[in-house]
A and B are shown apart, each in its own frame.
Chain A
């Protein structure tokens, strides 16, 4: 079976190369049969990668411990869903999973767009299949998942495996990597469209709309992946945090930030025909940051708890990055004329300018994170000294940047396209500003003195006011004209311009997340050494240890504390934090117990037993407002879905600035 799997990957690599050459030669020599044949090769690549993936999954499920990958990442006692998750639990399998997703995306693109984007399709295929061929090369030569264990030239069956890392044996870990990979890999598609449009000098904005839709979908996957990772860290690692500024976490955030910037600035291209070069740079940067993230995760350039084992694929990834970036830079420089703006910015005080500032701040945040992540490596190379760049740096830089971004989130809707007068600005900003200042005043009245927390809550109110007033003004107008109630009018309003109002809903999700992040300024924690019957306190909670239990099953042994919780004297329930020791890996993990509420979480971690093994050590945390982060995600999810719904009214964006200029390349949209 392993030979069949390896052969399938080798053949897939050959077909991917054929697809690249076939599409390019077909286009160059004007031989349609070659182009069509290249399209079919994409389907063959998918089929072969699917066969290889099925063989690996079967080996994981059946426990074929002759395979090095299966022996290292699976064992007999694991439930079937974790065996399945082992597919992406290790280096080789995750690269195969990546390739499988990329080939699946490629099939969808070819199937859905081959008629609409006839001219661009050979180039789209060339970009997609070059990337696929590169990953197939990795899993065919240096990182094959089908290597067998050998001893004295004979194949060795280990009998059982080491199992999946216990920290990864958690339900969100079954879906977190696929979501993140769907995001990472998905950004290849808009990048392929962008490059194809650049090469073929596509007129019009059709491809931009297609690219935006793909970016939105993959952005949602990436957001989901990042948030699931944060949720996993919060609920599994036992330290109560959801973000550790680990290089691998940062790597997942970087393409998300550039994609967010792209989703904003692409509106300028659609509506005003501006920022074409910038959009090309953003979508390319997003793709290359995905590859860079992969390089960071898999080569050990920087130390990270999340990273896969160090390997020798770094040189392959760096070469791919270098060639890719050089190629894109050349293409952009070569086609600057094609990327020229069709209209001009009229005023600094305009919606267009707010997008420029939004992009600047997003990119500054991206740069700060990238800089902080790589600086230890750069500094060591320059000075020879090892240094640490930890949480204080990231927070010192990113908190003010994040707050400014939050401010711009509120400013955007208040400023008109083209230009805003001072009077209209005064009217637009008055109530949002008053409401934000009122929140700050009230919080100060309650004794809050944390500067950033006050600013953050004030800005959250500012943005909330602008978003709600946007909905209210539009809904009231529809309600009056169509004689509908306000809720129905709000629904009608959103449906008419799903993109705009879906975007506002996404902004509300971001506001909720900021409320959650700000809550961390008021965290409380205590470490308690307790025995049965002990009563301890944290915040307004009383914790009574009702029982300490222990036991085992096939996979792990466990200690558990049964803790009765009271709040202000009234019993509110029982929490049961647990500590496990996985038998195969001899690795301990925490199963924290959390009482989740909107205002705060009570979070208990069974950290271990005391030195003399007589008492349990419990870490207790109170995390105010942390639930807002997860609620914010659901609002963001819903808002993104709304953005994807086709609007009831097809909007036309007349580029009024060009009236009278009558340039050839400026079509009037209908």
Chain B
């Protein structure tokens, strides 16, 4: 057993023949085409594009999927080739060629990832700037992280553009939307389409996350701070707002409807709502909690009591 068969001599460097080069290039091309196809397909994995930002993000995502597919298929393909065609036969106990490394190869596969990283990062940066969700003082000044108030705040609006200001209040476990100019409060977020929206996020108790998947927009609401987010809805319809930052027992119930309407319908809604008397909105967390407290046989553990259900003009 200690005696080992010597492998037949294999010269490690045979030099690549033209044929091999062509094969390699052809394979890379096929791979590139497949990857591009997967990249195109990747748009369908995402929710509808209901905001201007979502288009930008989806483009970036598709780009990353394309590149990722190429790398993944390239690496797995190579490994699979070895698995299928380079197995030792049952009684062959010889070694493979003694190849310790290859400087050229190593330099190439260090350089290519560096270039790719720079490419991905630059493109992501570009998209991030285009999304225009960050404040005008974002990049230039260095702010202490914990002092930074508005992560996604107003861009330098070019005067002409009107911005719709809405206050968002988060608490355990409800969302309340206030339209300060019209004096309307609601548990459903109504937005005019094709308008720049500026939300001011506040939280009463713990950290919550404002997240509308169809808009690809997410920002934490942090107690003690005021954080602004901006985006532009572009597609009318009904969407879902979800809490994205775990906030305790009834976290999953902290959802709200988002209604994107034509500016006219939106104004109409504001007007009718402002005339409604504020009433107590239904709140899933509150009702589940009440039931839990009443239950004679406890199957769970004590929970923080939900905040008072919101009292708003409009609720559904």
The answer on A and B forming one complex is no
